[in-house]
Chains A and B, each alone.
Chain A
Amino acid sequence: MNQILSVTGAFKKYGAVTALRGANLSVNAGEVHAICGDNGAGKSTLIKLIAGVETPDAGTIEVRGTPVSFGDPQDALAAGIATIHQDLGLAPAMAIYQNIYLGSELSVRLAGIRVLQKRAMMRGAREILAKMNSVMTDMTKPVEALSGGQRQAVAIARALRWNAEIIIMDEPTAALGVRETKEVVRLINELRNRGATVLLISHNMADVIAVADRATILKGGRAVTSLSLDGVSADALAKMIMDGADDIEEA
């Protein structure tokens, strides 16, 4: 498998707190890679570095073997990395299609003035959602009227429209019920089927086991292990997270 993203020796300090102390991460193209760890292990800091929200104090990030340095999330996006935050980053009162095209609306120049192509955007939005097997008929519906799973689908559709190859999903199932969670797991599987690489941060071990191919476990700002999740149970994974490095060799 070829590596699409790697982080080597990442350090990050916030004042007196050292969030990351030499964390490593290696993600293969086309896999769903979970980042696990207890609170304070450094998961969200590591993700922030990859998403371009923060810059590392030391360490390197490589995308497809090329070292990158992100000043802001737009840089990360240009490198093909999109982040779906826990709050999804959607405008609740705006329409589905407006959210999918937010900030990169389709328009045509008429006498020098950019005019929106609403029909084309609605059609495009419907197509992207259909590729995810997510059926929504009325593209003018506000996002706040959708279910949690559907909202997640809209956020993913936007990431896909940005041509992101690596999609970071931060706690996508945290606030969802059983049915909604199933829908999100299905969406993540769809993403993998389409060849996208997914970085998944989740506290829910059952979700991680259900959908991820591999996991990297963080503890105290360091990656203690990376392992394939084939045949690993949720309980075993939870134990590894709590025990940290102790069981690496056996795992």
Chain B
Amino acid sequence: MKQLVAKYGTALSGLALFVVFLLFARNFASPANLLTVLKQASFLAIFACGFTFALLTSELDLSFASIASLAAVMVGWLLHSDTSWLIAVAAGLAVGTIGGLLNGLLVTAIKVPSLIATLGTASIATGTAFMVTGGVAFVGRWDASFLALARGKVLGIPFLIIIMFAIVAISWFVTRLTPLGVHMQATGEAEGAAHRAGIATKRMKLLGLTLSGAAAGAAAVLLVANLSSAAPQMAGDFLLNAIAAVLLGMTMFDPGRPNIAGSFVGALILAILANGLVLFGAPYYLQDIMLGVIVIGSVGVSASVLKKAAFSV
């Protein structure tokens, strides 16, 4: 019973929250609003998947939001200089991936702690984004095929949501069912032991941080396509939100450990909460306060769950 609560307690609380909003928050249950919630959750979930990979190898990535903003303005700039949208998309993904790779190299080759390395690259990315745009946003006319990446629909389901599900499913598969996933996890939990067992721990950390950047690149492309604008700090709000989703996720399914299923449900819960609070007419600042409470609370909960797990099994 205790184990069930530890594993599914947070997810069930999220479900309860969802039901409360369905019943009592005006307009929450409308199809248009639910779609908005799911879209918001999609961006969060993609960022969160990336952050989960980095955290799984015990590295922090505080740069993904800034790297995503840089990737976004790169996409905007290329599209506005009449480059093919395919190339613009590829460039957006490349900016994210290269940014992540750079983080990984700083951490593994030069041994800068990831907390510091990614704070630094975040600032560099932000500065570069302002340089590219001259401080203004790219708005105006966009290629229809490009916009369809986020807004196009298959059987009534937006591409954005389909892409998000694909990224979550692949990430879940890799972390749970492949040797690579086990090696990343072992690297994060016992680097010395993993290394002695022949696991290329540095390569795992490099991969974790690179995937975090790649996910940020993908999210950036979709953000631009969804909003039809690209601005130098457009992804900034996702930093703490996506981290909160991952930390909240660590209180679920595989308590105490970064896990994709948890990150996904965490992203859903945060998107539901943000939307529902607005519909309830809660003051704007409440969201920030809630976010802080969730970040600190999740870590507190998963730390204590972890301790109990060690002695109660």
Contact = CB atoms under 8 A, between A and B. Distances in A.
A114 B198 contact: no
B29 interface: no
A114 B179 contact: yes
Interface string A93-127: 11000100011110100000111100000000000
Interface in A182-221: none
B198 A93 contact: no
B190 A92 contact: yes
A71 to B, nearest CB: 14
B193 A91 contact: yes
Interface in A46-77: 73-74, 77
B179 A141 contact: no
A102 B313 contact: no
A115 B178 contact: yes
B29 to A, nearest CB: 40
B199 A107 contact: no
A99 to B, nearest CB: 8
Given A93-B189, A94-B190, A116-B178, A103 B183 contact: yes
B186 A94 contact: yes
B177 interface: yes
Contacts of B185: 94
A22 interface: no
Chain A interface residue bracket vs B: 20 to 34
Contacts of A91: 186, 189-190, 193-194
B310 interface: yes
Contact of A145 (B177, B199, B257, B311): B311
B192 interface: yes
A98 B199 CA distance: 13
A142 B198 contact: no
A145 B3 CA distance: 15
A113 B40 CA distance: 32
Contact of A115 (B177, B183, B190, B311): B177
A144 interface: yes
Contacts of B147: none
* Residue from B192, B197, B311 with most neighbouring chain A CB atoms (10 Å): B197
A136 to B, nearest CB: 12
Contacts, number: 69
A89 interface: yes
B198 A74 contact: yes
Nearest to A95: B182
Contacts of B192: 87, 89
Given A114-B179, A116-B177, A116-B179, A90 B198 contact: no
B266 interface: no
B191 to A, nearest CB: 9
A39 to B, nearest CB: 23
A102 B310 contact: no
Nearest to A105: B179
B111 interface: no
A107 B179 contact: yes
A105 B177 contact: no
Contacts of B182: 98, 102, 105, 116
A141 B313 contact: yes
B189 A94 contact: yes
Nearest to B196: A89
A79 to B, nearest CB: 15
B190 A142 contact: no
A102 B198 CA distance: 8
A202 to B, nearest CB: 21
19 contacts: A85-B196, A87-B192, A91-B186, A91-B189, A91-B194, A94-B186, A102-B193, A102-B199, A103-B186, A104-B198, A107-B178, A115-B177, A141-B313, A142-B310, A144-B310, A145-B309, A145-B310, A145-B311, A145-B313
Interface of B: 177-180, 182-183, 185-186, 189-190, 192-194, 196-199, 256-257, 306, 309-311, 313
Question: 8 tightest A-B contacts by CB?
Answer: A103-B197, A91-B190, A145-B313, A103-B198, A102-B197, A105-B179, A89-B193, A144-B310
